[in-house]
């Protein structure tokens, strides 16, 4: 498949002023260079959905901003859809959309429909086609009833859904999403995730997403790039990440009455215990032994083998 994003040795340093003293600072400013992204390379092909993961300050948002042309990279090369993002060519900007979960793009004092009018003019969209698309997307996200309400009067969930419509109204080829579900309730999160999958399939949009919510990643993305301290530490599918780095398994045993002395079972750790169940965390290679040990010694009613949450896998990856 065709690569539409090519990033080679991307690096971005931020200059941080050290001396705040007005006199010395004015005549002899002292700046410290802090690398936000040290060296990151990757490619993305058309129609892919990619998650950039990493702890706060890892460099994922900086990477997204360099891809969208918002910040100027210190080193390296970026090509998106054949354009250099920072040139901010109109032809390039027409083909991308950006949604930032922690910032408001819609005008606070206007209704979403009024803001969409400006977007329509900016992107030169046909009125009928645009109105039809707004209606279609608003219905998918269940926000038709708030299209004519001033944005300042909306809930965060409603506002984010409308921000999302605004970001894709012009049918971008690539949609950049920076923490799209931050602060939302579970229902809104589910709706947005479902919507993103839907538009990816329906409009063949390439999605680049950053999120701290692993469910966003699991539900929306096929591929993950993990960045830590400005460097790429993993690049592959979500399934491969789980397979490669999932060294632990979670095993839950159900009993009539949970027996005592379970803590003494070797090579395992009890992470939860109740009257009728006990949950163990165990290395994958020790799992058969654990099951065999417990089923032979105690009257087990049922067993659940649970996958380690993606959060835990990523956390382990960062520790390594």
Give the number of other CB atoms < 10 A from CB of residue 254.
14
Q: Does 129 bind another protein (CB under 8 A)?
A: no
Q: How far is the CB of 194 from another protein (least distance, A)?
A: 25
DSSP 271-318: EEE-SSEEEEEEEGGGHHHHHHHHHHHS-EEEEEEEPPPHHHHHHHHH
Span of 54-62, 180-188, 243-251, 309-317 interacting with another protein by CB under 8 A: 54-62
Sign of the dihedral defined by the CA atoms of residues 138, 142, 144, 148, in that order: negative
How far is the C-alpha of 148 from the C-alpha of 135, rounded, in Å?
12
Out of 28, 33, 91, 145, name the contact with another protein by CB under 8 A.
91
105 sits near another protein (criterion: CB under 8 A): yes
Report the residue number, 93 or 143, with the smaller CB distance to another protein.
Answer: 93
Point out which span in 65-73, 139-147, 215-223, 296-304 binds another protein (CB under 8 A). 65-73
Binding status of residue 216 toward another protein by CB under 8 A: no
Among 64-72, 214-222, 246-254, 289-297, the segment contacting another protein (CB under 8 A): 64-72
Rounded CA separation 10/319 (Å): 23
Assess 83 for contact with another protein (CB under 8 A). no
Q: Which stretch binds another protein (CB under 8 A): 101-109, 140-148, 189-197, 296-304?
A: 101-109
Helix spans in the chain (H): 22-27, 60-68, 90-93, 112-123, 127-140, 156-168, 186-203, 214-220, 238-245, 287-297, 310-319
Place of tokens 């894709």: 168
Contact residues toward another protein (CB under 8 A) are: 14, 56, 60-62, 65, 68-72, 88, 90-94, 96, 98, 100, 103-105, 107, 109-110, 114-115, 117-118, 120-124, 150, 178
């Amino acid at each position: 498949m065709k690569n539409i994003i090519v990033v080679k040795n991307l690096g971005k340093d931020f200059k941080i002023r050290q001396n705040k003293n007005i006199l010395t600072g004015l005549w002899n400013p002292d700046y410290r260079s802090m690398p936000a992204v040290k060296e990151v390379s990757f490619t993305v092909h058309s129609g892919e959905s990619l998650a950039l993961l990493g702890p706060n300050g890892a460099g994922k948002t900086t990477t997204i901003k360099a891809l969208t042309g918002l910040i100027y990279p210190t080193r390296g090369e970026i090509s998106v859809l054949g354009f250099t993002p920072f040139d901010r060519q109109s032809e390039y900007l027409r083909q991308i959309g950006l949604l930032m979960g922690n910032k408001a793009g819609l005008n606070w004092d206007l209704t979403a429909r009024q803001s969409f009018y400006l977007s329509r003019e900016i992107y030169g969209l046909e009125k009928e086609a645009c109105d039809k698309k707004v209606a279609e997307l608003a219905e998918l996200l269940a926000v038709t009833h708030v299209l004519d309400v001033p944005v300042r009067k909306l809930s965060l969930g409603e506002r984010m859904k409308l921000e999302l419509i605004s970001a894709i109204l012009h049918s971008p080829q690539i949609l950049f999403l920076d923490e799209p579900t931050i602060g939302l309730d579970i229902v809104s999160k589910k709706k947005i995730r479902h919507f993103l999958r839907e538009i990816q399939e329906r409009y063949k949009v390439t999605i680049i997403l950053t999120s701290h919510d692993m469910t966003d990643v699991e539900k929306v993305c096929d591929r993950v790039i993990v960045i830590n301290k400005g460097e790429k530490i993993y690049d592959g599918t979500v399934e491969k990440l789980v397979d490669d780095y999932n060294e632990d398994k979670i095993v839950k045993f159900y009993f009539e009455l949970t027996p005592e002395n379970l803590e003494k079972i070797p090579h395992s750790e009890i992470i939860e215990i109740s009257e009728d169940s006990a949950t163990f965390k165990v290395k994958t290679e020790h799992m058969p032994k654990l099951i065999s040990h417990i089923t032979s010694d105690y009257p087990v009613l049922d067993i659940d083998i649970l996958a380690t949450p993606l959060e835990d896998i990523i956390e382990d990856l960062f520790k390594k």
